[in-house]
Structure 1
């Protein structure tokens, strides 16, 4: 992959993320806070961005979103590696762990 292509994909991901975030916040603020892993102040900022501001912010070369599952436990639960038990239980456990992290944000 060339650098130009990577930067273009980062800009596209940023634009998609900001548009999704704004839509989620406007539709259901509490769910958006949980699903995006953001606090109320960040939600208010994203909600009030104009389309021009979204385009300007998205055009940067730094990815705005990040993985919230930064530890091996959550990744193991989501992927089911090392377990033969039902997939739903692992996903539920991972969701509970991530919800606890949202409460601390």
Structure 2
């Protein structure tokens, strides 16, 4: 993949993320804050963006979203690395609890 293709993929991901975020915020604001890991202020800003503004923001060369699972513990729980499949639902629940706590701390 060359640099132009990568930039096009980033722009497409940005636009998809902005459209998803705006849709989530409009349908269930509290769930959107939790699922997206954003603040009230960011949600308000995203909710008011026009389609033209979303296109302009999405056109940048920096990815707007990021992985919130930034440590080995959460990744290990989500991937069940080295654990039998029977514990999968418990591991995912534990990972969700950890990420929810981090969202609450960030807000």
TM interval, shorter chain, is over 0.9
Counterpart-to-counterpart distance in 1, 2:102 and 2:40: 15
Establish whether residue 98 from structure 1 lines up as the match of residue 99 from structure 2. yes
Secondary structure at the counterpart of residue 16 of structure 2: helix
Counterpart-to-counterpart distance in 2, 1:73 and 1:6: 30
Shift of 1:82: 1.9
Which aligned pairs between 1:1-105 and structure 2 lie closer than 5 A? 1-84=1-84, 85-105=86-106
Aligned residues: 105
> What runs of 5+ residues in structure 2 fail to find an aligned partner?
none
Shift of 1:57: 0.1
Deviation per CA, 1:42-64, whole angstroms, max 9, x where unpaired?
A: 00000000000000000000000
For normalisation by structure 1, the TM-score amounts to 0.98
Counterpart-to-counterpart distance in 2, 1:71 and 1:86: 20
Shift of 1:33: 0.2
Shift of 1:26: 0.3
Secondary structure at the counterpart of residue 12 of structure 1: helix
Shift of 1:5: 0.2
Structure 1 window deviating more from structure 2 (79-88 vs 13-22): it is 79-88
Shift of 1:83: 1.5
Secondary structure at the counterpart of residue 86 of structure 1: helix
For normalisation by structure 2, the TM-score amounts to 0.96
